[in-house]
Amino acid sequence: MDKTKYIFVTGGVVSSLGKGIISASIGKLLQARGYKITIQKFDPYINIDPGTLNPYEHGECYVTADGMETDLDLGHYERFTDIQTTRHNSVTTGRIYQAVIDKERRGDYLGKTIQVVPHITDEIKRRIKENAAHEHFDFVISEIGGTIGDIESAPFMEAIRQLRWEMGGDAVNIHLTYVPYLHAAGEFKTKPTQHSVKELQSMGIQPDILILRTEHHLEDSILRKVASFCNVEPECVVQSEDLPSIYEVPVNMQHQGLDIAILRKLGAPLQFASRDGDMSVPGLVSWYHFLHLQQEAKDEVAIGLVGKYDLQDAYKSIRESLCLAAIYDGRKARLHFINSEDITPGNVAEKLDGMAGIVICPGFGQRGIEGKIAAAHYTRLHDIPTFGICLGMQMMVIEFARNVLGYTDANSAEMDDRTPHNVIDLMEEQKSITQMVGTMRLGAYDCELKVGSRVWKAYGEKSLISERHRHRYEFNNGFQAEFEQGGMQCVGIHPGANLVEIVEVPDKRWYIGTQFHPEYSSTVLNPHPLFMSFVKACLEGVKN
């Protein structure tokens, strides 16, 4: 298909309906028909990116390979579709206004008065089309954050209105709304959806397709009612009911003909014949295989997440990576969050009791640090499979220095700048020869693996890998020889800058820390090899 088509996904009634899952599912279905797609997220908040946002407020900060801190929905996009997003796939109101103000300061507008229309909306339109300007895509899916009626979303809605008018039949709007069920009345209520569509129409946008979010199955009569009252064709009204797994959503959407409706609305060829429930549709065979494995997995494996953010979305990619890896091993991952602030040397055995493996989670700041160190000490002594990620790796290193190397004052530069044994140092400009954002190491960096190490085997005996980073501190190479003599091997090194990326203790069943975030690279059809290896080690302990 020569001309790029655009799909705009908006939401109404309430927030948190799952626009990210719907957008990712649409992308997956279009891929299944042989189309090349990309998905982008437009967030209405004024922050430049989520990098400084509290995880309790925004969930995890997802990092793209090119070093952009983004919304967690980009994690859904990549896990569902196996595409690799970039900084062009995540845009906030803050970035839009910053770009316009920078242009104004340079004199690009030739002294004109800068206004929301046309200058802000033109910049939004430019960003919407930017991905297709760098690389040809058959479809660009744009998810608009927030809820219809929010004052913050108004410029984005106006930009969409203009683009749909300019593009004609090459753009559609898919509107996701909520249909509540009133138990007292014993019936569903479609009025909130009608009002949401009316609000959208008041902005000059007529939705082409409606997706009704519901906790219970909707009868056809309700779908027909919504179609009639909202001026949408009956076959373009589908429902997204609660399902056991988010990974069943693409299949549910396919069974209702969502992909056919989108292609028909955009005048794009179907490319492959489709029959309801046909598992042989190209691109979905592996997906159905995964769903089969997921449904067959009955036994559980208990894994503890030692961290300080008591919010499921704060470790979203880690949780999904563990669940995916367990499914491919025929198990369901039963994840237990263990707040590191509550862990002490005296109660660590009780807190970690019953766990087949422990993940020491990433994070920033000093809160909960000592609890993570106590957990690393306990799991190392008791040979419990342990996976330390980013800050988690650094806590494993500090614990080893204190209790094996005898540096009882071992710490990081952040935790205690005065100690002579800062085994984790604040990254200095001269220490990194690659691009940096401030003092952060962000995005994908190469890593050379030590031949024969456990991680080398986990990666399929690959010697060079590339993984994504988000951190300010590095392993202090001045202690490397002592660590390796003591039994903790530095088995992954970033070449050139000679930065330690991976440590492992070979005489333990599985005791590995990574400076990078492997969870960002784990997808439904290609779970990350380190998570696969870790879960396998956990299961061996369960079997024994």
pLDDT surpasses 70 at 274? no
Check whether residue 315 and residue 265 sit in a common domain: no
Is 429 an annotated catalytic residue? no
> What is the pLDDT averaged over residues 138-161?
95
| 445 inside domain | no
CB hemisphere CA count around 21 (13 angstroms) = 19
Residue 450 lies in a domain: no
- CA dihedral (199, 201, 203, 204) in degrees, to 10, reads 180
Q: What pLDDT score does 53 carry? A: 79
Tens digit of each residue's pLDDT (9 = 90 or more) over 387-442:
999 999 999 999 999 999 998 887 776 555 555 567 777 554 333 222 243 478 89
Question: Which residue among 228, 258, 292 closes a domain?
Answer: 292
Domain co-membership, 153 together with 239? yes
Instruction: Tell me if 459 is assigned to some domain.
Output: no
For residue 337, CA distances in Å to 244, 319, 469 come to: 21, 10, 23
Specify the pLDDT at position 542. 62
Pair (239, 328) in one structural domain: no
Per-residue pLDDT averaged across 113-139, rounded? Answer: 94
Peptide bond before 118: cis, by omega within 30 degrees of 0? yes
Q: Each residue of 294-349: pLDDT tens digit?
A: 999 999 999 999 999 888 889 999 999 999 999 999 999 999 999 999 999 999 99
Phi, psi (rounded to 5 degrees) for 418: -90, -20
Calculate the average pLDDT of the chain. Answer: 91
Is 435 within the bounds of a domain? no
Q: Read off the pLDDT of each residue in 98-104 and give the average, rounded to a whole number.
A: 96
Residues 330 and 256 in one domain: no
Tens of pLDDT along 37-75?
A: 999 999 999 988 887 777 767 789 999 999 999 999 999
517 included as an active-site residue: yes
* CATH number of the domain encompassing residue 21: 3.40.50.300
Residue tagged active-site, from 88, 501, 519, 538? 519
Query: Known catalytic residue: 469?
Result: no
Q: Do 104 and 242 lie in a common domain? A: yes
Specify the pairing of strand 139-144 against strand 5-11.
Answer: parallel
Domain at 395, CATH number: 3.40.50.880
Distance in angstroms (rounded) separating the CA atoms of residues 331 and 334: 9
Q: 18: which strand partners?
A: none
Residues 155 and 257 in one domain: yes
Does any domain span residue 19?
A: yes
Q: Tokens 């960096």: give the residue.
A: 445
Quick check: is 525 in a domain? yes
Same domain, 344 and 261: no
Q: Would 467 be classed as within a structural domain?
A: no
- The verdict on 220 and 364 lying in the same domain is no
Domain count, the chain: 2
Burial of 105 (0-12, 13-18, 19+ CB in 10 A): exposed
Domain that holds residue 515: 297-425+476-490+502-543
Percent of the chain at pLDDT > 90 equals 79
Which of these three, 246, 270, 292, is where a domain ends?
Answer: 292
Q: Which of 390, 447, 490, 538 is catalytic?
A: 390
- pLDDT, one tens digit per residue, over 357-375 is 999 999 888 888 999 999 9
